Amino acid sequence: MAPSDGEIEKDGQIREKLVATKEKWAQEGRALTGHTADPARERLPPGQRLVEDWPVLDLGVVPRVTTENWTLAVDGLVENPVTWRWADFQAQPQESFVSDIHCVTTWSRYDNRWEGVSARRLLSVVKPKPEARFVVCHSSDGYTTNLPLDAFADEDVLLATTWEGQPISRDHGGPVRVVVPKLYFWKSAKWVKRLEFVAEDRRGYWEVRGYHNEADPWKEERYSE
């Protein structure tokens, strides 16, 4: 079994003021332009600005996850549930992708080089049952986010271990984080410890706090209607 929250040490505590501010943004519709865009024609989604760095965003809690204590449990509606430790994860075929990041806080970063295990490889191992339609990502800081199975199964979705040729830092969700490039980046869970396959949609941390359930940046799905 994956370690419980109590078995992973954490630095910091939930920044309630930060959470309240982001909830207020959702209520006010901060940064909404009312526009949509076609990703086949434009690279920068509506309301976004380019940055060259990679800003660190979290809830204030940074779990002390290492390659020694990290595990990933994949369970729920799957034929072959697994619990991988670091050696098991590294034994899977490793793939490389280049993708952009689009954060709901309005910054985007182009051409991020990632390496890790593709979601499609994971799916081929665990074999979701026919009734599985959604994936809930659970993180070691208590964070959750939800994805339609089709979105998780996209060709560029990765359980990433490196960024720009280096191990992903703890601040950025290492040793393993989810990367879902086509959606706003809050859907790309940091410090992932469990992937739960479910039949019914179950909204995650930001989704129940006013953020859009689908999170398509090209449709500017920042907040719930």
- Identify the band that residue 2 occupies on the pLDDT scale cut at 50, 70 and 90: very low
pLDDT-derived band of residue 225, with 50, 70 and 90 as boundaries?
A: confident
Least confident range of 6-20, 57-71, 209-223:
6-20
What number is the average pLDDT over the span 86-106?
97
Residue 119 within any structural domain of the chain: yes
What is the residue range of 158's domain? 5-219
Number of domains in the chain: 1
In a domain, 140, yes or no: yes
- Residue 96 in domain: yes
Structure tokens at 145: 């986010």
- Angstrom distance (rounded) from CA 180 to CA 154: 8
We report the CATH number of the domain holding residue 68 as 3.90.420.10
pLDDT tens across 114-169, in order?
999 999 999 999 999 999 999 999 999 999 999 999 999 999 999 999 999 999 99
CA distance 71 to 67: 8
Q: With contact defined as beta carbons under 8 Å apart, do 21 and 212 qualify?
A: no
ω into residue 175 within 30 of 0, thus cis?
A: yes
pLDDT at 54 over 70: yes
Q: Do the domain assignments include residue 225?
A: no
